[in-house]
Chains A and B, each alone.
Chain A
């Protein structure tokens, strides 16, 4: 067993520097690496490029790094529900690249698969296609235009899983899996924070979502707030 365990967020993130590109897992506030984001605020690293489906809310998630102006560029598919984000974007302080959600997920996945680019029909004929190569491809008997999209390159991928073992094997819980799984495979260095860190042998190999080979560092998050963005319920 190759031990991937580090003590805490501080040790896991210690070599993240100004100007680096980070993938950050989660969908909305669901499955975000809360402890790592708090540590990035503490470290004060600046001019970050963040690849993340969303930008958090004003006072949680990546919104915290926007408040402290540590992010130079966001690469996301949906950025509503965040006033500070909207203000920085419209004023030009923050660079924003909006990417269709499936393209975003697949650009992460392809990085993990070691495939440099792939064709997708999403965004053909829209401003997403500006500056990109368009190819006409016949597939399953149908000929249509595809955009050639690139795999992401990132210095670090920071993901959150439910359980992990000391070898870095990860299991996600429910829809907190989302972008964490493709991103875990995609970082030059992947950091995983988990709710429960267990001994090797405790996880059933059949249940592993991300094999430990992709995870360079793993630590148990100090605490999880797991904030809910839209609490919708029905009466009993």
Chain B
């Protein structure tokens, strides 16, 4: 079973040279730590950064320079700063190549829910609805099973939706899944040591398994 860093490492393999990438809060943020050194990507933060760098050294943090998670951050050489409307112009006009975000639920037709639990938790959607409505390629990083042992890969989402028919791939502690255009979670890879049986038990939505499914490689 993969831990959070394991999920982030596996997603980092999806990042290609020359991509502009938006990373959501949580596991997606960790992906930045595992992008191979030969691969050049520019990280977009929707509060107005292209070319986001690592956290600042102690004592060098700047209250005016934060990322969308409100963390102090640095800029890489060649970075640019812009206002919030311009930032979502980049997103809406599909110049951001890859969006990686967390989810509470994903359905077999690619719907995603990640912003509200009615009566319990309402933090808001932030930029997630804009991102999922426009991004060409959306990968979700999430735990496949909740604390009560219930699957979060569902035939249909129970929670209020963030976007419909938009998720392309899901990476969980148990496996990697492609959302098929006709519906269904197609198992692409198993996490190390995870059996098909375990994956079947943890997937409430339609699971598609073709032939032998290899174990993923994460170092």
Summed over the interface, the residue pairs from A and B with CB atoms below 8 Å come to a total of 182
Task: Convert A150-164 into 0s and 1s, putting 1 for each residue whose CB lies closer than 8 angstroms to a CB of B.
Answer: 000000000000100
Query: A28–B67 Cα gap in the complex (Å)?
Result: 10
Contact of A76 with B by CB under 8 A: yes
User: How close is A10's CB to chain B, nearest CB, in angstroms?
Assistant: 25
The chain A residue with its CB closest to the CB of B63 is: A226
Once the chains bind, are B66 and A27 in contact (CB under 8 Å)?
Answer: yes
Once the chains bind, are B65 and A175 in contact (CB under 8 Å)?
Answer: yes
Once the chains bind, are A181 and B85 in contact (CB under 8 Å)?
Answer: yes
Contact of B202 with A by CB under 8 A: no
Stretch in contact with the other chain, from B160-168, B177-185, B189-197, B205-213: B160-168
Once the chains bind, are A102 and B88 in contact (CB under 8 Å)?
Answer: yes
The chain A residue with its CB closest to the CB of B84 is: A105
Query: A181–B69 Cα gap in the complex (Å)?
Result: 20
Contact of A199 with B by CB under 8 A: no
Query: A102–B128 Cα gap in the complex (Å)?
Result: 9
Query: A180–B85 Cα gap in the complex (Å)?
Result: 10
Contact of A234 with B by CB under 8 A: yes
Once the chains bind, are B163 and A236 in contact (CB under 8 Å)?
Answer: no
Interface residues of A in 24-67 (CB under 8 A from B): 27-31, 53
Which of the residues A30, A53, A128, A177 comes within 8 Å of B63, measured between beta carbons? A30
Query: A174–B61 Cα gap in the complex (Å)?
Result: 13
Once the chains bind, are B64 and A27 in contact (CB under 8 Å)?
Answer: no
Specify which chain B residues have a CB less than 8 angstroms from the CB of A177 in the assembled complex: 48, 81-83
Which of the residues B47, B72, B115 comes within 8 Å of A231, measured between beta carbons? B72
User: How close is B204's CB to chain A, nearest CB, in angstroms?
Assistant: 21
Interface residues of A in 109-149 (CB under 8 A from B): 109, 120-128
Specify which chain B residues have a CB less than 8 angstroms from the CB of A235 in the assembled complex: 57-58
Once the chains bind, are B160 and A106 in contact (CB under 8 Å)?
Answer: no
Which of the residues A81, A162, A182, A231 comes within 8 Å of B61, measured between beta carbons? A231
Contact of B14 with A by CB under 8 A: no
Interface residues of A in 220-236 (CB under 8 A from B): 226-236
Q: List 16 A-B contacts (CB under 8 A).
A: A28-B47, A28-B66, A28-B70, A90-B122, A102-B92, A124-B163, A125-B164, A175-B47, A175-B67, A176-B64, A177-B81, A181-B83, A230-B66, A232-B61, A233-B72, A234-B57
Q: Which residues of B contact A (CB under 8 A)?
A: 45-49, 54-73, 81-85, 87-88, 91-92, 111, 115, 119, 122-130, 133-134, 160-165
Besides A120-B92, A125-B164, 12 other A-B contacts (C-beta < 8 A): A27-B70, A79-B124, A102-B46, A120-B133, A122-B130, A126-B163, A127-B160, A174-B62, A181-B85, A229-B66, A230-B69, A236-B58
Q: Which residues of A contact B (CB under 8 A)?
A: 27-31, 53, 76-81, 86, 89-90, 96, 98, 100-106, 108-109, 120-128, 162, 172-182, 209, 226-236
